[in-house]
Structure 1
Amino acid sequence: MPVIRSLDELTGLVDRRTGVYVRWSMGPAADLPGLASRDDLTGIPMPGLSANPLDVESWWGERPLRLWAARRLYDYAHLPRVKDGRVRPWLLLGKENGRGPDNEPLVTDVEPLGWVDQVVIEEATEEIARQRGPWGPLDRSPRRGHAA
């Protein structure tokens, strides 16, 4: 599978194509045979793979597409740490078949497009760090001093 090696390359792909999703997992070889994610809380199988769309929402307006792409990656960059170190982001095309418990799209008819290199995650993190507002990934893992 091809590898996306820069945030600019990812931004170009998002600019040229619609219907692209990012999925954080061990990859298509692990996901495609069963084509179902499981709800982490209940273990219930869901009708598709949980993924996040990279299509730009209309409310984003004329803001930089590079920042949009960075944020979409950064929001879930904690997953390798909290789930499994082998979890990596990869891009896919798919058909939305419902929503998961976090309101994430569940996709079927998956066509893998490519891996997202770790360097792209690092560039996304740098891009987010340059923003004025406080922001962090959607990390739900318990932290010291916080109730679980």
Structure 2
Amino acid sequence: MPQIVGADRESDIDMPGLTVTPLSLEPWWPRTVEEWIARRLHRCCGLVEQVPAEQGSEPDRFPWLLTGTVIGHSLDLEPLVAQFRPLARIHRSVLEEAARLFEQQFAPSTPTSE
């Protein structure tokens, strides 16, 4: 049986890996590396802000830069990583800078009218 290291809170299902947001630059991306990273980390900013107080807050919960083996995908189609190795903690100031760059460089998404 695989080691359980993650969980999907909505469905209350244990998962055999951590869900991650890949930072690897895609070859089709026409803009700067900084904009790519800001766009990807912007997702982490929202995740950090959504952490309920009873589950802890910084410095107990924060995103990591890590490497590992992709073993599948979560229910939200995010990569699941096992055999991971943390490389660095992503400080809140980095997430805040990513959010600022995201807001400067990207148009806000708007709902489509039906």
TM-score by length of 2: 0.80
What is residue 12 of structure 1 aligned with on the other side? none
> C-alpha root-mean-square deviation of aligned residues, in Å?
1.8
Residue 80 of structure 1, CA deviation: 2.6
What is residue 17 of structure 1 aligned with on the other side? none
What is residue 115 of structure 1 aligned with on the other side? 89
The answer for unaligned runs of 5 or more in structure 2 is: none
The answer for unaligned runs of 5 or more in structure 1 is: 1-33, 137-148
Q: 1:67 aligns with which of 35, 51, 58?
A: 35
2:44 touches 2:63 (CA, 8 Å); kept in 1? no
- Whole-Å separation in 1 of the counterparts to 2:104 and 2:95: 14
What is residue 22 of structure 2 aligned with on the other side? 53
CA change 1:44–1:126 in 2 (3 A) is: same
CA change 1:92–1:35 in 2 (3 A) is: farther
- Pairwise mapping of residues 73-84 of structure 1 onto structure 2 (< 5 A)? 73-84=41-52
- Whole-Å separation in 2 of the counterparts to 1:64 and 1:105: 24
CA change 1:126–1:43 in 2 (3 A) is: same
CA change 1:70–1:132 in 2 (3 A) is: closer
Runs of 4+ in 1 over 3 A off after TM superposition: none
- Whole-Å separation in 2 of the counterparts to 1:99 and 1:81: 23
1:37 touches 1:47 (CA, 8 Å); kept in 2? yes
Using the TM superposition, name which of 69-78 and 83-92 deviates more.
Answer: 83-92
